[in-house]
Structure 1
């Protein structure tokens, strides 16, 4: 029997697409689970080899930890001076190496620079500079963080404030950073939920798109579900890889996967992070970067 014209045309179009009239529509592509890794000295000193390891690891976000802001505005990557007087003065080869992180084939699609840590006055120094110079184009914060952006190509600034907790100067700095091209401003809390909620409300979801909730050390009792509710977005909880004497402390890839799966069930998490690449390097027999990235991916899938 001859087919009517429209069904015949439809069948022809479907045939060109490699489908039939009985084929279901292709499922929408699912976004890969996000996974982040913090790293310190090796990300700066280990040359191209560490960049290649990260590109092949499965981690989607690399967080450079930590940028320290001195009272005069100088920026140090841990103990190394890298930005001064509006100029990058660090290892001349580092910017080019960082650019390779996103070059295919790679799992990395985002780079963040983290500011702060335990027992350092970085955010206190930032506040003092905001109060004395503001955040305009002539201020040292503006000039130095512009140079840092150019050098690192960072997509976001990560706030690892563990002592200061003042909304107004932090928000002023965050808005300056967004204006410089750091598209996002992320959090790394372990305590003081009310501060982070106030800062998130001040900046809004367009600026704050990720929260890396510490689930180890001082943050070991944190419940992602409670933080989800307080901050109005799903947090990405993190764990500490194997470390310490004999690499006996911290979580193995197997326990990371188990805990991520539990948080996925209880809090609906869609990503997670690992602290710290430096320890993964030292304890590689207990778990490689690729093994930890796979553990997060499996746990939140």
Structure 2
């Protein structure tokens, strides 16, 4: 990838390993049984007396039945892998130092974008094992010190997964063009190893403890290409709790050997391959990069033509067996993240779908263009994107009988709102291409009428934000609050001087009912 000054994130624990030069397992090496049953054994091999690192082994012992249990295990394991693959995030973006320089706006934009995974570029491993980015130290001596320069970084990265958001998976990238991290990793692995007392282990563990939300390390080695040290490193990272993704653009034999080496030691470590089909990898055909059944994603540059990008990615899915798409790179505000992310989601599979659609939004008038269906519920811009609906891109709506749709000009159910309870073939009167957040609910049911509505009772303030008071009611009178669907949302005994806390209620119109009064108020 092109050189870029960027941001970082976190890691996981582990002891990695490699065979000796002859490929033999050293019998003098310590081992620890971490699981044992009549059917299986799991053995973790640690550093031998000679100082060589050994591959972590997993062994299934056959049972007296002739090994049928092994076949059952393998079949079950394959089904588990298939299920995991089906729910893996399908749209992603590399993120540079812009995320830190222009926070918090960049955090908000990423969360609402619709991208299901983000790759934080990048962490540099120094010759002494310290972790840095843009010349600032992240971890040194087993301690997270980045907060001295970036006090909001931990909370910002944690918030990427905090609803409302479409982001499900966060990675840290190590490598890139001109980056010497993997050469430094090789030297450290070969000289001091990667056990729990090693500098690599301690620093990545400190980073993991600071930001446990990071799921994986993304390997973008473009220089060292050393299989043994890379296998050892990624097994260590897996022990710390981080999975591995790989970002090749050339040297396929290296990446194949790396995957095979990791898989021989431990399956399930490598989550996906992200083939670069841009810059140095512009001539890559994704069909050539299927390795060991690992899910394959393919990437393009953020500034490449949008229409062409959609055509290319659709071809990747249809003809190249590619299961996801990503972009290099979010490092400025020259492109619309939401537009690109939702397009990828529609091609490769949205993060969220529904088996009980209530309303379907269409890109064009007269129910044309792409269509995205939603169940009953409330949806922020991020939620809409996770379903594949681009912000402000709805032109017509089909609505099931008995339901109504409220669309809002702004995210978080703000700005002007418009309510529809039947199909509408054109939203042109709203200025076309609207909807930054939506609510879908059953039509309101009638609230029982009461006598003597003109009883001197009133609601204050109205509109209200945090509290509403029902003035003039009798002491210990029962007060009920209903939403537009007729669902009761608050019930309690309140006297005329008490306030009812409505801060947790969504914005909208509500009805208040007592034995002698029915009134309406607006929650802002």
Same fold at TM > 0.5: yes
Name the counterpart of 1:56: 112
The 1-side partners of 2:106 and 2:196 are apart by 35
Q: CA deviation at 1:166?
A: 0.9
- Could you say what the CA RMSD is over the residues aligned between the two structures, in angstroms? 1.7
Name the counterpart of 2:220: 160
**Residue 279 of structure 2: which of 208, 217, 227 is its match?**
217
Considering only CA atoms, is the larger Rg found in Structure 1 or Structure 2? 2
Q: 1:180 to 1:33 in 2, by over 3 A?
A: closer
TM-score by length of 1: 0.82
The 2-side partners of 1:155 and 1:72 are apart by 25
Q: 1:32 to 1:72 in 2, by over 3 A?
A: closer
**Residue 68 of structure 1: which of 104, 120, 124 is its match?**
124
Establish whether residue 180 from structure 1 lines up as the match of residue 240 from structure 2.
yes
The 2-side partners of 1:136 and 1:31 are apart by 33
Residue 127 of structure 2 aligns to a residue whose secondary structure is coil
Residue 293 of structure 1 aligns to a residue whose secondary structure is helix
Q: Is the 8 A contact 1:69 1:125 kept in 2?
A: yes
Write out aligned runs for 1:18-167 (5 A): 31=87, 34-90=90-146, 91-153=150-212, 154-167=214-227
Establish whether residue 239 from structure 1 lines up as the match of residue 295 from structure 2.
no
Q: CA deviation at 1:300?
A: 2.6
- After the TM superposition, which segments of 4 or more aligned residues of structure 1 sit over 6 Å from their partners? none
Name the counterpart of 1:27: none
Greater relative contact order (CA < 8 Å, ≥ 6 in sequence): 1
Name the counterpart of 2:229: 169
1:166-200 deviation line (CA, Å, top 9, x unaligned): 11100101111111111x11100000001111111
Q: CA deviation at 1:202?
A: 1.3
Name the counterpart of 1:293: 341
TM-score by length of 2: 0.48
Q: Is the 8 A contact 2:248 2:276 kept in 1?
A: yes
Higher strand share: 2
Residue 239 of structure 1 aligns to a residue whose secondary structure is strand
1:252-285 deviation line (CA, Å, top 9, x unaligned): 332221110011111122211100001xx2413x
1:202-227 deviation line (CA, Å, top 9, x unaligned): 11250111111100001011111111
Higher helix share: 1
Q: CA deviation at 1:31?
A: 4.6
Name the counterpart of 2:259: 200
Identify unmatched segments of 5+ residues in structure 1. Answer: 1-29, 243-250
The 2-side partners of 1:253 and 1:87 are apart by 43
The 2-side partners of 1:295 and 1:126 are apart by 38
Identify unmatched segments of 5+ residues in structure 2. Answer: 1-85, 350-524
The 1-side partners of 2:177 and 2:326 are apart by 18
The 2-side partners of 1:232 and 1:79 are apart by 38
